[in-house]
């Protein structure tokens, strides 16, 4: 990240633009909930909007758009572990649901 006053002032403009985008996207999140979409579409839209908002916060406010390699490696390892723990849980839930539907008790 550049440290000159000129560069910081340039970044400040970006912060305010991101803030506006986050406000609009928050409105979108709430607005979409009033359409009463089917649950899978509601989940999809909610998570796409949340992911965009989270991405903006991480990239611009947390400066991840211009960070050192070691920080990216930490985050990649975290993502792999987090997803690695969640997937077996989801598989277990799915297998249990399948068993209940298809195997006579």
Binding site for other proteins (CB under 8 A): 3, 5, 8-9, 11-12, 15-16, 19, 22-23, 26, 29-30, 33, 39, 42-43, 46-47, 49-50, 53-54, 57-58, 61-62, 68-71, 74-75, 77-79, 81-82, 85-86, 89-90, 93, 96-97
- In angstroms, the CA 17 to CA 81 distance is 33
Q: How far is the CB of 7 from other proteins (least distance, A)?
A: 9
Are the CB atoms for 45 and 32 separated by under 8 Å?
A: yes
Q: How far is the CB of 53 from other proteins (least distance, A)?
A: 5
C-alpha torsion 65→47→12→20, nearest 10: 150
Give the CA radius of gyration of the chain. 20
């Amino acid at each position: 990240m550049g440290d000159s006053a000129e560069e910081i002032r340039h970044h400040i403009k970006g912060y305010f633009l991101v803030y506006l985008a986050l406000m609009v996207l928050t409105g979108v999140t709430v607005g979409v909930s009033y359409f009463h979409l089917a649950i899978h579409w509601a989940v999809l839209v909610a998570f796409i909007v949340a992911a965009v908002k989270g991405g903006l916060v991480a990239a611009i406010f947390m400066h991840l758009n211009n960070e050192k390699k070691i920080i990216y490696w930490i985050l990649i390892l975290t993502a792999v572990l987090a997803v690695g723990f969640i997937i077996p849980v989801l598989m277990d839930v799915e297998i249990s649901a399948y068993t209940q539907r298809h195997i006579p008790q």
